[in-house]
Amino acid sequence: MTTLERQSLFSQEILASQNRSDWLKTVSAMAQTLGFSHVTLMKVPCTEEKLLAPIILETTLPASFIRAMDEHSTLLECPILGKIAHSSIPQYWSMREEVFSSSVCQVIKDGLARQGIDTGVIAPINFLNGRRYVLRFEGRAPKPSQAVLNEIGIISIHAFDVYDRVRKAEMAVPRSLTKREIEVIRWTSHGKTSSEIGQILSLSDHTINAYLNNAIKKLDCVNRTQLVAKAIRLKVIS
């Protein structure tokens, strides 16, 4: 498969993402095809931002790794992020080439090593609102050719555009539900029947079913089970 063919295939697969979970799975699969084991989408930190967790949008890295990094306030001393400070093109990094001089940098190095990471590509993305983001591909891949770096840059921009569209769509869904519909979904998630929910809320079975049917349509679901699962995924209920 040529670079252009692979780029076209990746773009089609990313475009097919229906939610952020789909998006992350697709981009992660793309990263593995390129030889990387982890992918992270994050904001480029501003001066006042000192922790990693709040600026990460999506990642395949374990939460324990992120917590460990933040316990030592590693964000401000990370030499990897510094590579894109004045660059608009993807940058390759290798543990063997970076300088991890301070004790905090050594924490970063050791943490990455435990995740099986010693190389990566960090692709900057300049968004319309002026905020900068990066899509990071990390693992043990050899240094990619310039053609592959260019490919990663193009795909990263497209991937972020799709992510932003999916994210906005997911954020709009909860706002379309009424408070009563959310309340009925929550009781349904607790295993209550329409009759039982009706007794709890002093409403008829018919009214409860109407709320559920409306919610099913709004969230584009086919039944109550899918409705509850999607409501949980979208954080409409917890």
Q: Are 183 and 236 in contact (CB under 8 A)?
A: no
Helix (H) or strand (E) holding 126: strand 119-126
Cα(208)–Cα(28) distance, integer angstroms = 41
pLDDT score recorded for residue 173: 75
Residue 99's pLDDT band (cuts 50, 70, 90): low
For 48, phi then psi, to 5°, come to -85, -5
Residue 169's pLDDT band (cuts 50, 70, 90): confident
Domain spans of the chain, in order of start: 3-171, 177-233
Average pLDDT, the chain: 90
- Tens of pLDDT, residue by residue over 191-235, are 999 999 999 999 999 999 999 999 999 888 899 999 999 888 888
The architecture of the domain spanning 3-171 is: 2-Layer Sandwich (3.30)
Torsion of CA 153, 157, 158, 159, to 10 degrees: 90
Q: What single string gives the DSSP state of each residue in 174-189?
A: HHHS-HHHHHHHHHHH
Helices 63-71 and 103-114, interaxial angle, to 10°?
170
Check pLDDT > 90 for residue 123: yes
**How far out from the chain centre does Cα 185 lie?**
26
**First vs last Cα of the chain: how many Å apart?**
44
Cα(58)–Cα(53) distance, integer angstroms = 10
- Tens of pLDDT, residue by residue over 62-88, are 999 999 999 988 887 888 888 887 788
pTM comes to 0.76
Residues ≥6 apart with Cβ < 8 Å to 131: 43, 44
Residues ≥6 apart with Cβ < 8 Å to 223: 216
- Tens of pLDDT, residue by residue over 18-58, are 888 899 999 999 999 999 999 999 999 887 888 999 999 99
The architecture of the domain spanning 177-233 is: Orthogonal Bundle (1.10)
